[in-house]
Amino acid sequence: MRVQHWWLEARPRSGQNLAHSRWPVGGSRSFQTIDKAARSRYATLTGFEFVMRAPAIEADRFGAGEVWVAEVDKVVVGFVLLQPHEDTLYLANVPVVLEASGHKIGVALIAQAVSRATTAKAVTLATFRAPPWNGPWFRRQRFEPVPEDCIQSMLRAIQERHSPYVDMSTRETLWYRT
């Protein structure tokens, strides 16, 4: 497996030290397909049917951050979408296709996210508390609950964006302090 940066413009940004590739043919649709495929693991969970029905991550969100992909045999099997928020780096999405699950691909993508937070005080995310591949998994990766008084405006706006669609008592906001 290899993790590499994919960028929108025709040349790599200076200072990046991993392999670079151009934005894939099909653009963000490729990532949206992975996002939807990764959600298949929710199919058997009572109360999470809405996750399967939800649309894939919006295409414009990919241009608002940076994408690092995991490839196995030259096939993209997962990605992490990172977006700068104030003095933190927000982990917007980290899907891995079900067939590649259990091979530490998510761990490698999280490690890449943390390594990108060189000037950020933390990597933050919003996730479900319960499914084992959500909150419990992130806590095993050393993420901790963000104290209420440390939730910044951008992260609070994300919570508000989620609230019409999700029971917020099932959600948690975590951070990995750098």
From first to last of its 178 residues, what are the pLDDT tens digits of the chain?
Answer: 666 665 443 333 343 333 434 455 456 778 899 999 999 889 889 888 888 888 888 888 887 888 888 888 878 888 899 999 889 999 999 999 988 888 889 999 999 899 988 899 999 999 999 899 999 999 999 999 999 999 988 888 988 988 888 889 999 999 999 9
CA 22 to chain centre: 20
- The domain that contains 34 carries what CATH number? 3.40.630.30
pTM as predicted: 0.83
> What domain range includes position 167?
2-177
- Determine the 3-state secondary structure of 25 from DSSP: coil
Residues 93/128, Cβ–Cβ less than 8 Å: no
Residues 90/125, Cβ–Cβ less than 8 Å: yes
Number of domains in the chain: 1
Cβ-in-10-Å burial (0-12, 13-18, 19+) of 35 comes to: buried
- Determine the 3-state secondary structure of 140 from DSSP: helix
How far, in Å, CA of 177 to CA of 162, rounded?
Answer: 23
